[in-house]
């Protein structure tokens, strides 16, 4: 069986977008990892997108409930394109993701952010079964909103992760469809922000979301693709612009 690191290396080298005229992204990331301090971190790494260059993004929810997104490309071609209206702020930084071995990696944002995040991944019978099922499904089902609603309703309890939304609308108004193909649990994680320890792994007392995208109540690492409606200025929140 291929190691997680080798699968990621192949995704970085050979990732391809699904066909379509909508806005498409292929890659991997941590859907969300809550900590006992009340902070929550998420990671998105898309080597290939249809709207711009590949990029990395770190999402951060503060204990107050406000959201920040750090990206390594401009906001208008990264996650704030879809979530910007719900954010306290967004900014561009160098983001380093480094694999220590087949199951462990770190995420670092230096300069004035000062984030250091360590992650350990693990496969379980549940994640193996869900990955096998997802990888075997035909493309037609992945394009069906009705199927994605059913899959999300089944996956949440199966993964003991609360609600999982695979279809719906993001804060800026675009419709989204998420297609996770492989998954692992976060078995261990620590993080510091400007030297402050964010605490142990612990679900938030109340599950949080951005639009219809629910953040799982436990750390899950996924590989797959996402689709969003093409931007329509008459229907969607204005896109972020480049800094002055």
Lowest mean pLDDT among 70-79, 195-204, 209-218, 232-241: 232-241
Q: Could you tell me what percent of the chain has a pLDDT over 90?
A: 91
Q: In this structure, what token pair is assigned to residue 225? A: 């693709």
pLDDT, average across residues 36-55: 97
pLDDT band at 220 (very low <50, low <70, confident <90, very high): very high
Quick check: 99 and 6 in contact, CB under 8 A? no
Q: In this structure, what token pair is assigned to residue 81? A: 């394109």
Q: Tell me which residue of 192, 6, 1 sits closest to 106, measured CA to CA.
A: 192
Instruction: Supply the pLDDT for residue 242.
Output: 62
pLDDT band at 139 (very low <50, low <70, confident <90, very high): confident
Cα–Cα dist 178/154, whole Å: 15
Quick check: 231 and 174 in contact, CB under 8 A? yes
Query: Mind giving me the DSSP string for 35-66?
Result: BTTS-EEEEEEEEEESSSS-EEEEEEE-TTS-
pLDDT, average across residues 143-157: 94
Query: Mind giving me the DSSP string for 61-120?
Result: E-TTS-EEEEESS-GGGSTHHHHGGG-SEEEE---EEEESSSSEEEEEETTTT-EEEEEE
pLDDT band at 147 (very low <50, low <70, confident <90, very high): very high
Side-chain-facing half-sphere of 48: CA atoms under 13 Å: 16
Q: What is the pLDDT of residues 165-218, one digit of tens each?
A: 999 999 999 999 999 999 999 999 999 999 999 999 999 999 999 999 999 999
Domain boundaries, the chain: 4-228
Q: In this structure, what token pair is assigned to residue 41? A: 């971190």
Cα–Cα dist 233/74, whole Å: 19
Q: In this structure, what token pair is assigned to residue 82? A: 């879809």
pTM: 0.95
Average pLDDT, the chain: 95
Instruction: Supply the pLDDT for residue 111.
Output: 81
Q: What is the pLDDT of residues 96-113, one digit of tens each?
A: 999 999 999 999 998 899
Residue 46 has pLDDT above 80, yes or no: yes
pLDDT, average across residues 124-142: 92
Q: Is 188 helix (H, G, I), strand (E, B) or coil?
A: strand
Residues in the chain, overall count: 244
Cα–Cα dist 40/66, whole Å: 10
**Of 238 and 98, more confident:** 98
Cα–Cα dist 152/68, whole Å: 25
Q: What are phi and psi of 127, to 5 degrees?
A: -65, -35
Q: Is 199 left (phi over 0), alpha (psi -120 to 50) or beta?
A: left
Quick check: 220 and 163 in contact, CB under 8 A? no
The residue with tokens 């990331």 is 29
Instruction: Supply the pLDDT for residue 1.
Output: 64
Residue 244 has pLDDT above 50, yes or no: no
Instruction: Supply the pLDDT for residue 153.
Output: 94
pLDDT band at 62 (very low <50, low <70, confident <90, very high): very high
Residue 234 DSSP symbol: T
pLDDT, average across residues 154-166: 95
């Amino acid at each position: 069986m291929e190691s997680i690191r080798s699968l990621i290396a192949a995704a970085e080298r050979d990732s391809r977008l699904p066909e379509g005229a909508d806005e498409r992204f292929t890659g991997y990331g941590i859907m969300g990892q809550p900590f006992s301090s009340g902070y929550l971190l998420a990671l998105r790494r898309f080597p290939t997108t249809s709207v711009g260059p590949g990029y990395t993004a770190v999402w951060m929810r503060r204990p107050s409930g406000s959201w920040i997104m750090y990206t390594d490309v401009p906001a208008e071609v990264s996650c704030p394109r879809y979530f910007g209206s719900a954010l306290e702020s967004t900014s561009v930084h160098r983001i380093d993701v480094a694999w220590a071995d087949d199951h462990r990696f770190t995420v670092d944002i230096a300069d004035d952010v000062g984030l250091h995040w360590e992650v350990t991944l693990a496969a379980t019978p549940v994640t193996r079964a869900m990955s096998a099922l997802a990888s075997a499904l035909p493309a037609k089902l992945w394009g069906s909103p009705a199927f994605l609603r059913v899959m999300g309703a089944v996956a949440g309890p199966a993964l003991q992760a609360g609600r999982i939304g695979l279809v719906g609308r993001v804060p800026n108004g675009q419709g989204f469809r998420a297609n996770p193909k492989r998954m692992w649990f976060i078995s261990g994680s620590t993080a510091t922000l400007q030297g402050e320890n964010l605490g142990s792994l612990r679900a938030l007392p109340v599950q949080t979301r951005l639009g219809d995208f629910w953040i799982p109540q436990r750390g899950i690492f996924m590989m797959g693709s996402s689709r969003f409606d093409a931007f329509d200025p008459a229907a969607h929140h204005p896109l972020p612009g480049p800094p002055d």
